[in-house]
Amino acid sequence: MTASNDHAQDAVVVSALTKTYKGSDVSALNGISFSVTKGEVFGLIGPNGAGKTTLIGCLLGLLRPDAGDVSIFGLPADSLAVRRITGYVPERSDFEHWMTARQFLKYHHGLAGRNGKDANGEIDECLEAVQLSPTVWNRRLKTYSRGMLQRLNIAQMLIGKPTLALLDEPTLGLDPNGVTLVRNLLRKMQDDGVTIIVNSHQLDEVERVCDRVAFIKQGKIGSIENIKTGALSRYSLLVRWPESALNGSLNSVVEECANRALVNGEECHHSWGRFTVQDNKAAANLIKELVSNGLPVEEAVPEKNRLEELFAAGGENKIDE
pLDDT digits (tens, 9 = 90+) for 85-97: 999 999 887 888 9
What is the mean pLDDT of the segment spanning 188-206?
A: 92
The confidence band for 2, taking pLDDT boundaries of 50, 70 and 90, is very low
E-only strand ranges, 52-177:
67-72, 75-76, 86-89, 164-168
Residues 21 and 38 in one domain: yes
User: Do residues 245 and 212 both lie within one domain?
Assistant: no
- Asked whether residue 92 is domain-assigned, the answer is no
Instruction: State mean pLDDT over 153-171.
Output: 95
74 vs 225 pLDDT, higher one? 74
In this structure, are 65 and 187 located in the same domain?
A: yes
Q: How confident is the model at residue 187 (pLDDT cuts 50, 70, 90)?
A: very high
Mean pLDDT of the chain: 87
71-88: average pLDDT? 93
The CATH number of the domain holding residue 187 is 3.40.50.300
Domain-embedded: residue 91: no
Domain range enclosing 138: 100-157
Residue partners of 151: CB distance under 8 A and separation at least 6: 130, 131, 132, 174, 178, 181
Give the per-residue pLDDT at 30: 93
**Distance of alpha carbon 39 from alpha carbon 10, whole angstroms:** 9
**Cα 190 to chain center, whole Å?**
12
pLDDT score, position 1: 41
Give the helix/strand (H/E) hosting 255: helix 250-260
Residues comprising the chain, all counted: 321
In a domain, 150, yes or no: yes
pTM: 0.77
Q: Are residues 66 and 171 in the same domain?
A: yes
Three-class secondary structure assignment of 152-175: HHHHHHHCCCCCEEEEECCCCCCC
Same domain, 306 and 244: yes
Of 165, 104, 101, 99, which is closest to residue 133 (Cα–Cα)?
A: 101
Pairing between β-strand 10-19 and β-strand 67-72 as defined by DSSP bridges: antiparallel
One DSSP character per residue, 268-317 reads: E-SSEEEEEESSHHHHHHHHHHHHHTT----EEEESS-HHHHHHHTTT-S
- Residue 93 lies inside a defined structural domain of this protein: no
Cβ neighbours of residue 171 under 8 Å, at least 6 residues apart? 150, 178, 179, 182, 200, 202, 205
pLDDT tens digits for range 205-249: 888 899 999 999 889 998 888 877 655 556 788 999 888 766 668
My answer on whether 208 and 304 are in the same domain is no
pLDDT of residue 236: 83
Q: State the Cα–Cα distance between residues 273 and 136, nearest whole angstrom.
A: 49
Helix (H) or strand (E) holding 266: strand 264-268
**pLDDT band at residue 313 under the 50/70/90 scheme:** low
Tell me what pLDDT residue 320 has. 40
For residue 140, the 8-state DSSP code is: B
Residues 128, 194, single domain; the answer is no
Asked whether residue 29 falls in the same domain as residue 45, the answer is yes
> What was the pLDDT predicted at 106?
95
Name residues whose C-beta falls within 8 Å of residue 36's C-beta, 6 or more positions apart in sequence: 10, 11, 12, 13, 42, 195, 197
Q: Which long-range contacts (CB under 8 A, 24 or more apart) does 284-288 make?
A: 285/260, 285/261, 286/237, 286/239, 286/257, 286/258, 286/261, 287/239, 288/261
Of 171, 205, 226, the residue at which a domain comes to its end is 226
Query: If pLDDT is split at 50, 70 and 90, which confidence band does 318 have?
Result: very low
Work out the average pLDDT over 121-145: 95
Show which of 142, 157, 172 is a domain's final residue.
157
- Picking from 88, 278, 96, the residue whose alpha carbon sits closest to that of residue 196 is 88
Please report, for residues 42, 198, 279, the alpha-carbon distance to residue 225 in angstroms, rounded to integers and kept in the order given. Answer: 10, 14, 12
So what's the pLDDT on residue 85?
A: 93
Are 304 and 176 contained in the same domain? no
The Cα 143–Cα 130 span in angstroms is 18
**Is there a domain that residue 219 lies in?**
yes
CB 19 within 8 A of CB 59: no
Residue of 160 and 279 predicted with greater confidence: 160
- Res 247: pLDDT: 60
In a domain, 94, yes or no: no
318 located within any domain? no
- Spell out the residues 6+ positions from residue 142 whose beta carbon is closer than 8 angstroms to its own: 97, 98
Model confidence pLDDT, tens digit, residues 13-57: 999 999 999 888 888 999 999 999 999 999 999 888 889 999 999
**What is the reported pLDDT for 195?**
97
* Residues 141 and 183 grouped into a single domain: no
Which amino acid is located at 107 in the chain? Y
How many Cα atoms are found within 13 Å in the side-chain-facing hemisphere of 133? 6
Total count of domains within the chain: 3
pLDDT (mean) for 175-202: 93
Query: Percentage of the chain surpassing pLDDT 70?
Result: 89
Domain boundary among 108, 134, 157: 157
CATH number of the structural domain spanning residue 255:
3.30.70.100
Q: What percent of the chain has pLDDT over 90?
A: 60
Q: What is the pLDDT of residues 172-186, one digit of tens each?
A: 889 999 999 999 999
Asked if residue 243 and residue 304 are part of one domain, the reply reads: yes
Same domain (yes/no): 244, 301: yes
Q: Is residue 320 part of a domain?
A: no
Distance (Å, rounded) from C-alpha 247 to C-alpha 193?
A: 51
